[in-house]
A and B are shown apart, each in its own frame.
Chain A
């Protein structure tokens, strides 16, 4: 079967997260895709418009739906965010590499999320919290544009209530109705501190934000071998056949999107690579 052939999925719920971001609950019409690992993405097809690679923001485990959080940034994402309950779209995947939730067993976990970057991290956060005893200290640092852009507020509040999880949130801009921190997410890193010998950091957000976060993590003593990022490049096929998503010698759809930073450090800072 052609690897580009999607499976039909039905929208069972739509939630407007922010002014430009929507979460969709999806259920398979017939055959389901294999269970996505935290960090993997699917190609979502909007009828007649096209496909876009979207990270899975919640895996369909224990009867729960497949969830995708989609930001309206182009024709395809626009079409997807306008879908209503009962309508169908195509799903292919899951593709790509996973966050190292298994490899980081026994470690302190530091999640650093910027903007929509919290969506691909959420399955990893859920996995870690569902297996809390396997990890040391767990902290999530989340920065976004403003209080109105915060994703998953209810879930963040729920996580905060867990006494052994640290949730630190900051925004780039706010007015006085916001009683929390204001400043870029990297300022949270020295504030929260970490034990560099026993910490694994999972970083996701706009590429510039990841660049600065990596610098801040390195300043805190964290080695590149325990720093993971999730990258994005132009993608059409998602299966290593169209050649577009190359990043140096790696295909983001095969060796990524989640990549261990020491393996790509030499490429990451080259302009227009």
Chain B
């Protein structure tokens, strides 16, 4: 992973009071502050007003089909990996009204929504999540047609990353080259230092980030602090247990649509769509047009959808992908192979959510390895 790094200009140390001040400063500037909160047995993202809302001393134990919260032996505020939700639901809303339509006699009028995007701050964004946001930025903003709702919200989002020190057993960001250290894409990056103290190394990533840090009670960071921060992410890299195959995976998947292993996976897959819901990069949606009871108004609503549903591929006469096998193949091949052709990167960031939240514990890294083995076995 990373070699010893030179201290970035402007890097400082923030205490717990500094973190509290950060949250309050964002609120004072009109931001909706979202951060990790323990809720319903998981660490989810919700509104926070201060350090007290954070899941202090809690960690997650994750494996295929398993997610449990446990106590830590310390009071780390960000001592977990990732929860079931990603930041996706704040930028790419699960349900969104796009516009309304009015009917007056024979005429139709289309009214775009007038609600401006709110300023939102995300506290606790992992490196893999930054990568996922960058991926969705590309999907939604860099094509011929832009998802204007996403773009408006994205422009008003302030990102405070928190580097990862405790990956779960489901994580594999190192082999996806998306972490554990946040390199870019954040306004401020924090690393939680618990080496006999409880402080955060704070690095500005943008002018806005630097400007905010300048208002907070901070002190200068030294070489020792840098080393301590590096040690945190190096520990995370060393503790990574899962790995995604790299070279050759795209060809193995795209070249083998009739590989017998698809049937093996399909026999386990319930087509429950959990993986697509928890995945931070899955972006498929459906459009619903709903009319008012009086028949004079209607609205168009965009909703999350999943390629695992039978109706997803419905054309008049029937669905193209009637079998679970075909739908699993579509999801995995799109995520790990087609995405490269479409957007220039993998669609996967190695966050491990699909592995933990699959009710039957299907492990995408193991499935990928199975397809690679087939390739290597054929000489």
Contacts and interface: CB of A to CB of B under 8 A. Distances in A.
B143 A240 contact: yes
Contact of A249 (B101, B147, B284, B342): B342
A233 B289 contact: no
Interface string A1-32: 11111111010000000000000000001000
Contacts of B320: 233-234, 272-273
Interface in A254-273: 254, 267, 270-273
Contacts, number: 131
Interface string B264-298: 00000000000000000001111111110001001
Contacts of A62: none
A197 interface: no
Contacts of A50: 287-289
A47 B298 contact: yes
Interface residues of A, number: 45
A73 interface: yes
B342 A251 contact: yes
A5 B99 CA distance: 7
B contact face: mostly helix, strand, loop, or mixed: mixed
Contacts of A127: none
B126 interface: no
B138 to A, nearest CB: 12
Contacts of A3: 145-148
Contacts of A239: 143-145
B156 interface: no
A253 to B, nearest CB: 9
A237 B112 contact: no
A49 B283 CA distance: 24
Contacts of A270: 257-258
Given A241-B145, A248-B254, 15 more contacts: A2-B98, A3-B145, A5-B98, A5-B110, A29-B107, A48-B295, A49-B289, A73-B316, A88-B108, A233-B313, A234-B320, A241-B147, A243-B307, A249-B337, A273-B320
17 contacts: A8-B110, A10-B106, A50-B287, A50-B288, A86-B106, A88-B106, A90-B108, A233-B320, A234-B314, A234-B315, A240-B143, A240-B144, A240-B145, A241-B285, A244-B284, A244-B286, A249-B338
Interface of B: 98-99, 101, 103, 106-110, 112, 139-140, 143-149, 254, 257-258, 283-291, 295, 298, 300, 302, 305, 307, 312-317, 320-323, 325-326, 330, 334, 337-338, 341-342
